[in-house]
Chain A
Amino acid sequence: MLPCYCRAVSGSATQLLGPESGRDPGDLDTAIIEGLRAGDDRAFELLVRTYVGPLRAVALRLLQNQADADDAVQEALLSAFRGFANFRADARLATWLHRIVVNAALGRLRRTRREDEAHDLDPLLPRFSEAGYPEQFHQPWVSTIDDLVARAETRESVRRMIDRLPESYRTVLILRDIEEVDTAEAAELLGISTAALKVRLHRARQALRNLFERELELTGKA
């Protein structure tokens, strides 16, 4: 869920790793966890240097603003330090930190949430006649996923289209389809029912399907 950022670890914090360490994520996590439990200040620096990169990426995805993302990361890492007693020995440090930064970012979004956005998605959803027939008969896509993903421009376009979704749909889509948070946990993080989460996820995917097809010209029609 959250890759370890081993490359940035340097300086006195690395002394915690010991001479035998190959600096793999397991070594780093063990050094961080044992150091924090022992009250060693260097362990917190190691935690920050190891995870600040991946946590920034997650926060930026949700908040769409680097300054806000950095604030959320700082809040998350300090919260992790304060609440380290709650870290369970059988949990993965990366997963625990991921949950904390997602919470911090969602908290910031809630404080700045725009009202009256619920219907923004409707024009992007499929339309049907009274009898249930579609207004548009769908065609197969002419490009393969591998071809699309290989183009940097397309990857960037996909991210821009995700960012165009109304916030309540965008956050659900990011949590489920990018951050790979399961349905129950995503619903808990957002404070909504699993049924409501599934409805939002489905609509977000339908809207994006429409956007991708139209703007990436996936049926060969400009």
Chain B
Amino acid sequence: MSDHEHSTAPPCGPNTSHLTCREIAEFLLGYIERELDEQVLTKFDTHLSHCPPCGHYLEGYRETVELVRRCGRAECDTQGKPTWQPPPEDLVQAILRAKTGV
């Protein structure tokens, strides 16, 4: 499925009384970013309150985002503080030399 074939809006018309687990997984981003309308939001919450696996999926999704945020910077320590090594002087000098030609 391409980006354009994939809708970002859940298929919840007036005739749809509940969301499936597939729809919960598919439209989780909209749920987390609070972009769903009130009617759909209610259906999401109803499904999550009755479906522990989907609740676990949502929790793992949130934890994935947190892990990426906290581990993604190789230059940072466990507290997120940068632990810089001095940049190579030859790179600095190369950039300074290149600037003279600008």
Contacts and interface: CB of A to CB of B under 8 A. Distances in A.
Contacts of A141: 59-60, 63
B99 interface: yes
Nearest to A7: B84
A8 B60 contact: no
Contacts of B6: 199
Contacts of A131: 20
Given A49-B92, A70-B91, A209 B3 contact: no
A162 B96 contact: no
A138 B60 contact: yes
A8 B69 CA distance: 26
A134 B21 contact: yes
Instruction: Name the interface size band of chain A.
Output: 35 or more
A195 B27 CA distance: 12
Contacts of B23: 132
Nearest to A132: B20
A74 B91 contact: yes
B20 A74 contact: no
Given A48-B95, A205-B65, A8 B84 contact: yes
Contacts of A134: 21-22, 25, 53, 57
Interface string B83-97: 011110001101110
Interface in A55-86: 56-57, 60-61, 70, 73-74, 77-78, 81-82
A18 interface: no
B61 A206 contact: yes
Interface majority SS on A: helix, strand, loop or mixed? helix
Contacts of A5: 82, 84, 87
A200 B68 contact: no
A202 B3 contact: no
Contacts of A77: 95, 99
Contacts of A196: 3-4
B68 A173 contact: yes
Given A145-B67, A177-B68, A198 B82 contact: no
Nearest to B68: A177
Contacts of B67: 145, 148-149, 158, 212
Nearest to B4: A196
Interface in B45-92: 53-54, 56-57, 59-61, 63-75, 78, 82, 84-87, 91-92
A167 interface: no
A140 to B, nearest CB: 5
Contact of B96 (A48, A159, A201, A212): A48
A138 B56 contact: yes
Contacts of B20: 128, 131-133
B28 interface: yes
